[in-house]
A and B are shown apart, each in its own frame.
Chain A
């Protein structure tokens, strides 16, 4: 079944995902196939059907508002690719 073509370059930008030109080409054809299969959902009659986001939605899950220890700074930074002064380091954001 014919399906919409994915503009892989644009979607990869939205997903912040660098792809090589070969990857873009392969993904484009594979996703075309998968979307073709997914098209079958259009046959289902969903008139007046509510969407399900969770099988057992739990609402207003709260706990007592009591202070408790959080993860120690050194544990939180343990896996940081770059750190300084107890903080995560990232490339410059503002000039």
Chain B
């Protein structure tokens, strides 16, 4: 079953000419045909195009191309429906965009292609990346491969479910308040949100510009390091990308975590934390200690304000970013007597309930008379949250937390109560506000039903090497990442 293997395993097989890129791609397409009717990770995919790319890669390999030059040679990688792939549809999980076809490649897509990846498929998501369960997609529910009555998390639910169901080798997602790490935790795969500015966002449809980052979903930590190295780097097309050198991330995965100081934030270990999640995380912390990490208690005193701060800043930025969807240059236009009526009707008909809710909230907190009380105050509290982390990182090399307070919940369980849904992001949100990197790795399962639990490592700005090293050392000392969802 080639589709079940990792990038490193497939690299070895391709290099030895044991398999072809076409065989790998066909194995993924077969798995999609077999299981995606139940999972619905994909909104669409073009099998013929994927196979044509695979054939081109096989020719390159016969002509001498190798994985030193092109680290993703022959790897089928599927993309969240919020990142532009030239000549492929782009809908952001919304019906608003109609039959939109991307006129150009996002920088991360150019990088994947240059590294030899087979870029295919549009993965389901909460509309415009707003949500924590993928229930807000206009294209229907994505199901959790571990229990199809449950949600896969969100907003990158399709990206996580596709990896967990072995429908492709890796995927890309985006993370504004946890949208990579939370679904990775709930589906039992690895999800990495890089430091703000590490990866170019050119070609990513903007949700909240001061928070959004693109990152990978993979089957193990080594593959996450491989992908991060390909995706990272400054980009003239994204003025917020940071000109920081890109290290060889895989070289950091040497198991040497002895003496690393690992912080536990007491504010993250309380309130609403499921006992089984707590037990799994406590056991993981003991394991890390056994591997040589030094556990240190740290305090992030403003954690309790993170969700409120986030929902002011993210909605304010979204209300401005989403102004472009007005029916002039794209979108399924609804005619009006004048342009304003056309904008209003197009947006009213095209956006779903959660997007409307956030546009109204964001417009309100920016409106005259409320700006200082909400938006400006939230930006100040954001400074306090960021300073909490910077202060903690004077004492420790990384911080370890649960990724989510509970395992995957049932479809429909929280969709009627937006505030409860927002609170499910409580452990992932501060990372985006502080702009630091975070990774989620599997750290156990609940007993009945058997659902994955995620462990989150948060690092210093541009400290991806350290969190990858810790996550890798932990992963290699456990077998959680080898467990597979049963799908029949």
Contact = CB atoms under 8 A, between A and B. Distances in A.
B103 A78 contact: yes
Contact of A14 (B239, B367, B383, B435): B367
Most buried by A among B99, B195, B240, B323: B240
Interface in A27-79: 27, 30-31, 33-35, 37-38, 40-42, 44, 46, 49-56, 58, 61, 63, 71, 75-76, 78-79
B409 interface: no
Contact of A93 (B309, B311, B339, B377): B339
A8 B330 contact: no
A11 B327 contact: no
A86 interface: no
B382 A52 contact: yes
Contact of B197 (A30, A40, A56): A56
Contact of B344 (A17, A75, A76): A17
B384 A33 contact: no
Interface in B230-271: 236, 239-240, 242
B383 A27 contact: no
A91 B341 CA distance: 10
B337 to A, nearest CB: 7
Given A8-B360, A27-B360, A71-B104, A56 B196 contact: yes
Contact of B384 (A19, A37, A44): A44
A18 B360 contact: no
A80 B330 CA distance: 5
Nearest to B241: A58
B376 A51 contact: yes
Most buried by B among A27, A34, A37, A42: A34
Contacts of B101: 78-79
B338 A91 contact: yes
A56 B376 CA distance: 18
A90 to B, nearest CB: 5
A78 B242 CA distance: 32
A18 B377 contact: no
B364 A11 contact: yes
B377 A33 contact: no
Most buried by B among A8, A19, A42, A51: A51
A81 interface: yes
Interface string B354-375: 0011011101100100100010
Contacts of B433: 55
A51 B461 contact: no
B347 A55 contact: no
B219 interface: no
A95 B359 CA distance: 32
Contact of B304 (A17, A40, A54, A81): A40
A58 B357 contact: no
A75 B330 CA distance: 12
Contacts of B326: 16
B312 interface: yes
Interface residues of B, number: 76
Interface string B314-354: 00000100010011111111011111111111011101010
A14 B367 CA distance: 9
B170 interface: no
A92 B364 CA distance: 30
Nearest to B373: A42
B176 to A, nearest CB: 13
B381 interface: yes
B240 A54 contact: yes
A38 B340 contact: no
B332 A46 contact: no
A30 B333 contact: no
A18 B348 contact: yes
A38 B361 CA distance: 11
B193 interface: no
A9 to B, nearest CB: 10
Interface in B98-117: 98-101, 103-104
Interface string B401-440: 0000000000000000011001000000000011110000
Interface of B: 98-101, 103-104, 195-197, 210, 236, 239-240, 242, 302, 304-305, 307-309, 311-312, 319, 323, 326-333, 335-345, 347-349, 351, 353, 356-357, 359-361, 363-364, 367, 370, 374, 376-384, 386, 418-419, 422, 433-436, 461
Given A31-B357, A55-B386, 19 more contacts: A6-B361, A6-B364, A14-B367, A15-B319, A17-B351, A19-B356, A27-B356, A38-B312, A40-B305, A49-B383, A52-B379, A54-B435, A55-B196, A56-B197, A56-B242, A80-B330, A88-B328, A90-B342, A91-B337
